[in-house]
Structure 1
Amino acid sequence: MRYSHWLPVALALTACGRFGATPNHRDGLRVVSVSKQLTEIVFAVGGDTALVGVDISSTYPPAAKKITTVGYHRALNAEGIISLNPSVVWNDGNWGPPAVIDQLRKVGIPLRQFDGGESIDSTKRLIRQVAQEFHNPRAGDSICARLDADMDRADSVRKTLKDAPRVLIIHFGQAANQYFVLNRKGIPEKMLEWAGAVNAADTAQKWRNLSPEVIAEAQPDVILATDYGYDLQGSLEKFKQLPGISLSPAARNNRIYRIEEHDLVYLGPRTGQNVLELIQLIHQR
């Protein structure tokens, strides 16, 4: 995780090499990955030389930003994918639109869906599966062992905590005086639980636009602002002044932190490390 207040380089939204680099290829395998979780795992097991394209949300590790992008994973560009001449498109089932998927099937590009990754156990199975694809099972075993050790350490630290701060996760910051907030479901909720925190949001959907009044009523002790929304404001002081947020204990006590979205919304090789860093951040340890 990175908690700096610097504005990152904007990501291109169309199929392009973000930094003009051309990846190497291995054994003729040319993979387009349209899942940021899969992309990180591919890098972790040493299969990144096979990646010829990724979706725009695949921003970790930093080297992923050097690979040609094919659009947002739910708004992909068929022509961009086809132009890369992939031998397969890897996905997690959460991609589209359907017309693009149909077009890829029509031109004969194989589509491979990987399942799992919603729990630590299923994430380890996914890591081992991807490692096997690159004939590197030892890497998969090593990564899983490290993940277990990190999660055990995080659990031990959590048990020593004396309080449970109320935390609000704001995704994409402000849009038309509405805030995109993560509620008490899914992986972000698990991350907060593992970090010994309570989700201050209480909404009926996983993603929900809330008014400034509701944000103020939630009275979060800590606000985690995902990178894109935080960077739209450009600084902590400007983010603190947003309607609703300015009335929160988090703003009064300067407990608003920039956090990378990918560290909260999916599980992967670094999840245990991310939980430990969340603990340090939220509890100021």
Structure 2
Amino acid sequence: MKKIIPFLILSIAILSCGRFGNKEIDGKKDMRIVCLSKQLTEYVFALGKGHNIVAVDLSSTYPDSAKLLKTVGYHRALAPEPIIAMNPDLVIHSNDIGPENVLPQITKAGLNIKAFGGANTIDSAKLLLTELGKFFGVETKADSLIKVFDAGVAKAADTLKALGIKDSVKVMIIHFGLRNNNYFVMSGRNGVGDKMLRLAGCTPATYDGKGAREMSPEAVALANPDIIVATDFGYDRMGSMDKFISTVPGVALTNAGKNKRIVRFEEHDLIYFGPRTGDNVIKLISLLHTPASVPAK
């Protein structure tokens, strides 16, 4: 009997949500949105439509207003029940949600679902802003954000050029997994993190690893970065630079570990592009280039 009750609850929720009938949604009207993508959450708020979002996935932590919303789980490890329970008019995602069965389940429940593009390059991020602007009927606001985006990237390039840096430092990004308490190397695969490092005038350390898997101490030592960028969650979990160096596999054997060149950076500012990218690149420049990196005049 105890096993039947949860099933009945889910069945009732599914039937009640089925009234939406997968109809086309008009984004220009206020609605209840569940957002399963951190970049979509930031973009929707930036477009002035954040009041429509009633719940987000755990990775949606920007802006601060998003932290006040209910969460429905990690976007790659979702269950249908929390999403359905929010009684949304629309669920939006960026084609990177999981497990594989969750999308068919919430679709079968009758929820309206809409996928938007990614933001893994500057061009794709601007296309995403345009796409969202059209959907919500705020094209002018989207165009303004794209201008801010372009101006910020240009300012970052000027900031780097003004330093006159000749020798590029080798940098690795290390991230602490939220779900399995393992460390991962985010850089070395030409993803957003690597592109951000290059915009900041650095060279991503070559890491011999496959995908986002648990890091190998030997591979980290062989990559031998001059500086390690530790994402906020992992760094804060360690509590100090010395603890990070002594605990994270392979770090103590690198130049970064030996010279205590570990810097902390917000994780989400390294994994997608957006209107704040220029500011984030300037932050990286200030962290990664010491006065010793600048030629004497």
Render the CA deviation track for 1:161-197: whole Å, top value 9, x for unaligned.
2221110111117999974112232111111111111
TM-score by length of 1: 0.84
Greater shift in the superposed pair: 205-214 or 57-66: 205-214
- Could you say which residue in structure 1 is the equivalent of 2:36? 34
Partner residue of 2:77 out of 64, 75, 78: 75
Partner residue of 1:240 out of 238, 241, 245: 245
Separation of aligned partners in 2, 1:204 and 1:245: 15
TM-score by length of 2: 0.81
Render the CA deviation track for 1:247-278: whole Å, top value 9, x for unaligned.
32222332101111101111112111111111
Render the CA deviation track for 1:118-141: whole Å, top value 9, x for unaligned.
321221121122123332222211
Task: Answer yes or no: is 1:180 the counterpart of 2:178.
Answer: no
Render the CA deviation track for 1:66-87: whole Å, top value 9, x for unaligned.
1110001011121111111111
Render the CA deviation track for 1:89-108: whole Å, top value 9, x for unaligned.
10110002232211211121
Partner residue of 1:197 out of 186, 190, 202: 202
Separation of aligned partners in 2, 1:133 and 1:44: 14
- Could you say which residue in structure 2 is the equivalent of 1:207? 212
Separation of aligned partners in 1, 2:128 and 2:66: 19
Q: Is the 8 A contact 1:226 1:260 kept in 2?
A: yes
- Could you say which residue in structure 2 is the equivalent of 1:171? 175
Separation of aligned partners in 1, 2:278 and 2:180: 35
Render the CA deviation track for 1:230-251: whole Å, top value 9, x for unaligned.
1221111211222421232222
- Could you say which residue in structure 2 is the equivalent of 1:11? none
- Could you say which residue in structure 1 is the equivalent of 2:277? 271
Q: Is the 8 A contact 1:195 1:279 kept in 2?
A: yes
- Counterpart residue identity of residue 289, structure 2: H
Q: Is the 8 A contact 1:200 1:219 kept in 2?
A: yes
Measure how far apart 1:43 and its partner are: 0.9
Task: Answer yes or no: is 1:84 the counterpart of 2:90.
Answer: no
Greater shift in the superposed pair: 255-264 or 173-182: 173-182
Summarize the Cα distance change of 1:216–1:204 in structure 2 as closer, same or farther, 3 Å threshold: closer
- Could you say which residue in structure 1 is the equivalent of 2:25? none
Summarize the Cα distance change of 1:176–1:218 in structure 2 as closer, same or farther, 3 Å threshold: farther
Render the CA deviation track for 1:30-63: whole Å, top value 9, x for unaligned.
1111010101101111111000110000011121
- Could you say which residue in structure 2 is the equivalent of 1:103? 105
**SS at 1:96 equivalent:** coil
Q: Is the 8 A contact 1:34 1:54 kept in 2?
A: yes
Q: Is the 8 A contact 1:173 1:226 kept in 2?
A: no
**SS at 1:230 equivalent:** helix
Measure how far apart 1:204 and its partner are: 4.6
Unaligned runs of 5+ in 1: 1-25
- Could you say which residue in structure 1 is the equivalent of 2:290? 284
How many equivalent pairs are there? 260
More helix by share: 2
More strand by share: 1
Residue identity over aligned pairs, in percent, reads: 46
- Counterpart residue identity of residue 222, structure 2: E
Q: Is the 8 A contact 1:168 1:200 kept in 2?
A: yes
